[in-house]
Amino acid sequence: MRPFAVGLIAVPKAVPEVRLAVREHLGRPCPELQLCVTELLANVITHVGEGTPVTLRITGRAARVRVELTDPDAQARPVLRRAAGTDESGRGLALLDAVALRWGVDRGEDGTKTVWCEL
């Protein structure tokens, strides 16, 4: 797979646009990968703030793909929680956790944070 990298602004309209860009880059639908990209970007919009500049990177070989989303706020760390049945939000990382083989968070020396997952 050819690496994919794009810088973008985390706003709601960017979510379907980046999902489509990923699909076009891959040349085929990949629902699990597109779901992970969607949830990572939505988390930045919700918890770091709309308008935050982010960098999305997708790399991979053979059967493993790594998705990374980097934002400038290392303090806003994602926390996996289980949403109650009536909650209207809080399921993003649970979905990511269910789909990904593994995921995590890395802090950059420059004050950035990268949330990543592997499929």
**Total domain count, the chain:** 1
Torsion angles phi and psi, residue 71, rounded to 5: -130, 165
Q: Do 39 and 95 form a contact (C-beta atoms < 8 A)?
A: yes
- State the pLDDT at residue 7: 98
> In Å, what is the CA distance from 58 to each residue of 1, 36, 99, 117?
9, 11, 16, 10
- State the pLDDT at residue 69: 98
Residue 92 lies in domain: 4-118
What kind and span of H or E run contains 92? helix 92-99
Domain of 82, CATH number, reads: 3.30.565.10
Per-residue pLDDT 10s for the chain (119 aa) are: 899 999 999 999 999 999 999 999 989 989 999 999 999 999 999 999 999 999 999 999 868 999 999 999 988 887 777 766 665 566 678 889 999 999 999 999 999 999 999 99
Q: Evaluate if pTM is beyond 0.85.
A: yes
